[in-house]
Amino acid sequence: MKATVAPTLLHVVVVLVVAGSASAFAPTPLANVRTTRSCLSSPKARSATSIQMQNLLGGIFGDAAAKEKGAEAPKIPDFVVTPSYSLAIGFVFYSLFFVVALQASILGVILGGLNLLFASFLAVQTNRLRFVFDETSFELKSALSGDLSDTGENVVVGGANRWTYDSFVNWDFFPSRDIPILVYFKETQTPSDKWEEGPGQLDKVGGGQIHFFPAIADCRELEEQFTMRGCAKIED
């Protein structure tokens, strides 16, 4: 009888243990599933998910836009061309040449004196005027007051001594860039009815107003700025 009871108690214990273990793998009650689904489909849950997606996409495309903006070419800073007294000094030597070549004759003194006066005029203009390149335009300014100021209207065709880069048709140096005496440019900003006034009378090609000024500024810097600012030039 004792032998029969012991196995029976052992069987009961095994059944209880197996039943308890099996309960851990029991399927989730339907009510709990519905509760979970209802939580995920609630307006608050959808709103939170939407905000997270917006933040993620904003971070991706926002960083790309910032990089693209940062990659934009920097603006070219304003530039004042360095004045050059080379032309004035050249005419001083030219005046001495006439005096020496003509052996201090009356003609030599007269020609030398005229060239010396012109050299003085160039020196004054070199000290007084500055050629300025800003973001949009090439401009002639006065430096007599210590600060750059307006030079007033153009004495030949009127209007401000300021010309936009996109109005340029051509520019060059005469007789050459290596030995510059005159700086030349042509623009279309001046009204067309003025194109034949002043130096324009010498222009047989047309298509703009021409300007000449003495090479009283560093022509290497002028060439560099004209090119850098995209001023149109007719190549030889």
Residues composing the chain: 236
Q: What pTM was computed for the model?
A: 0.67
Over residues 11-21, mean pLDDT: 38
pLDDT digits (tens, 9 = 90+) for 185-217: 999 999 988 888 888 777 777 789 999 999 999
Indicate if the pLDDT at residue 38 is higher than 80. Answer: no
Cβ neighbourhood burial of 186 (10 Å; 0-12, 13-18, 19+): buried
pLDDT score at 42: 53
List alpha helices for the chain, DSSP H. Answer: 2-23, 30-40, 43-70, 86-101, 106-128, 219-228
